[in-house]
Amino acid sequence: AQSVTQLGSHVSVSEGALVLLRCNYSSSVPPYLFWYVQYPNQGLQLLLKYTSAATLVKGINGFEAEFKKSETSFHLTKPSAHMSDAAEYFCAVSALGTSYGKLTFGQGTILTVHP
Amino acid sequence: DSGVTQTPKHLITATGQRVTLRCSPRSGDLSVYWYQQSLDQGLQFLIQYYNGEERAKGNILERFSAQQFPDLHSELNLSSLELGDSALYFCASSAGQGNNEQFFGPGTRLTVL
C-alpha cells in the first residue's frame, strides 16, 4: 500500500522568495512520484514526475523536486515565487506493478504568494 | 487544455436521485481513471478502466458504478445520492495501464441537495 503526507496544509511566501512544499511518501515497492497543481475551479495539471531515473526532477514553471529514498521524501521547490504560483499543490504516489498506476494523493498544500 | 473532456461541468440534484457523469479521454489513451475530490476526504481514487475492462478499484461505493465503452469514453453512474456525495469528480486518462502520466479533465461538480 502507498500513502502520502504533505506537511503543511497552507504555505505563505512573499513574491521572489523560495517556495518549499514538503511531501513524504510510504510505499512497499519502488514508487513513482508526482506533483500536480490545481488552480481554482480547474482540474489538476502535472508539474513533474519521478519515475526512477534522475533523482532531481525538473518540471514546468521553474519547479523542481528531489527524490530522497533515505528520507522517503519528494519535496517541491522553486527558487523565486511568482504571484501566478498561488494554487493548491498535490503530491501523489503510484507503484510499479500494483493497482495499475492508480494515484494516491496527499491532502494538498495551498500556496499563497504575497506581493 | 489536457485533452480530457468531462460533461456536465455542474450538476445539481436531490437526494435519492441518479446521475451519470461522462468522460472522453485524450485521443489514443486507453486508460480512464475516476477520482472524487471532497473537503473531508481529499482526492480519492475510485476506479480504473483499460480498453473497456475494469482494472482497479478504490474506495468506490456500491451505489456507484462505471463503464468504458468501445469508443473509450467512460461514464460514472451515481445512484441513491446522498448529501455526502457532493464533490468534484475528476476523470483522468493515460496511454497505458499503469505508471504513465495521467491527464486530468476539468471535473464535474456535483451538488446534492
Question: Would you say residue B1 has pLDDT above 90?
Answer: no
How many other C-beta atoms lie within 10 A of the C-beta of residue B80?
Answer: 13
> Which of B43, B51, B68 is most worth mutating to test chain A (most A CB atoms within 10 A of its CB)?
B43
How confident is the model over B57-65, as a mean pLDDT? Answer: 93
**pLDDT tens sequence across A10-47:** 999 999 999 999 999 998 777 889 999 999 888 999 99
**Residue from the list A36, A42, A102 with its beta carbon closest to the beta carbon of B56:** A102
Candidate from B58, B97, B104 with C-beta closest to A101: B97
**DSSP-based three-state secondary structure for B90:** strand
Specify the length of chain B in residues: 113
pLDDT value of residue A90? 97
| pLDDT value for B87 | 97
Contact: A101, B101; criterion CB under 8 Å: no
Section B42-50 average pLDDT: 94
| C-alpha closest to that of B92 among A45, A57, A98, A13 | A45
Instruction: State the average pLDDT over residues B65-78.
Output: 97
Cα(B110)–Cα(B17) distance, integer angstroms = 12
SS3 A71: coil
Residue A105 has pLDDT above 80, yes or no: yes
Q: Residue A115's pLDDT band (boundaries 50, 70, 90)? A: very high
Interface test with B, best of A34, A100, A109 (most B CBs within 10 A): A100
pLDDT at B15: 97
Q: Quick one: pLDDT at residue B84?
A: 95
Quote the cell numbers at residue A108: 494538498
Mean pLDDT of B59-79: 96
